[in-house]
Amino acid sequence: MTTLRLGDTAPDFEQDSTEGRIRFHEYLGDSWGVLFSHPADFTPVCTTELGYTAIVSGEFAKRNVKVIAVSVDDNDSHKKWVQDINDTQNTQVNFPILADPDRKVATLYDMIHPNASTTATVRSVFVIDPAKKIRMILTYPASTGRNFNEILRVIDSLQLTDNYSVATPVNWEHGDDVIIVPSLQDEEVIKQKFPKGYKAVRPYLRITPQPDL
C-alpha cells in the first residue's frame, strides 16, 4: 500500500461505530477531523486517552473539529469499554469509536506496524481539513499516551496559518506572537495585513502579534 503523506486526500471508508454506521467523508462534512487509533479495548493507556478526549470535547467542537477513534475490536466490545471509560475517567464519551475487526481502516491508514505488533494498531493521529486533506500525522508507540493539548495546539496553528500569511514559531500557543512568512515581501501588503506592525529580527524572521486577536 502507499504510505499516506501530508496533503494527500484522507481515504474514505464506511464502517460501523458506537454511534452507528459511518461514511467517513460524509460524517466530516464541512468540519475538520481528528482520526486516532488505539491498540485495543480495555487497555489502560487508551482508557485515559479516550476519557480525556471526552473531557476536552468542547475544545474540539469550538474549533469545528469532529473527533473519531478506531481500534481493531468489534462494536460490542467498544460499547462495553465505553462504560468503563465513563466510570474510571469521570466523563461521558460523546464521539464515535469505529469498529475495525476486518482491519479495513487500519490498513487504509497504515496503522499496523508489523515490527511493533502484527495485530494491534499503533497510536496514530490524523488531522484532516474540510477539503479532506491530511494536514498532520503523528505516530506514538503503544506504551505512550498522546498529548491531546498538543493536537489542539496544532489545529490552532493550522487554522490560523490557513487564513493569514503567517507561520507559528517553536512552542507557540494561541495568543503568542507569530512569524510573517518569508514569501511575503511587499511592504504595502504587509501594512494592510498586519496593522499592528512587526519586528524584523532578521530579514527572514519578522515577528508580529497574532493577527486575528
Q: What amino acid positions are annotated as catalytic residues?
A: 46
Q: How far apart are CA 66 and CA 2, in angstroms?
A: 25
Cell match 494561541: residue?
174
End-to-end Cα distance, the chain: 43
Strands (DSSP E) along 62-198, which ranges? Answer: 65-71, 97-99, 123-128, 134-140, 166-167, 178-180
Q: How far apart are CA 179 and CA 157, in angstroms?
A: 12
DSSP 95: S
Cell digits of residue 42:
480495555
Q: How far apart are CA 4 and CA 198, in angstroms?
A: 37
Query: What letters, b where the CB count within 10 A reaches 16 and e where it falls short, cover 129-139?
Result: beeeebbbbee
Backbone φ and ψ of 26, nearest 5°: -65, -40
- Strand-pair partners of 34: 67, 127
Q: How far apart are CA 29 and CA 43, in angstroms?
A: 31
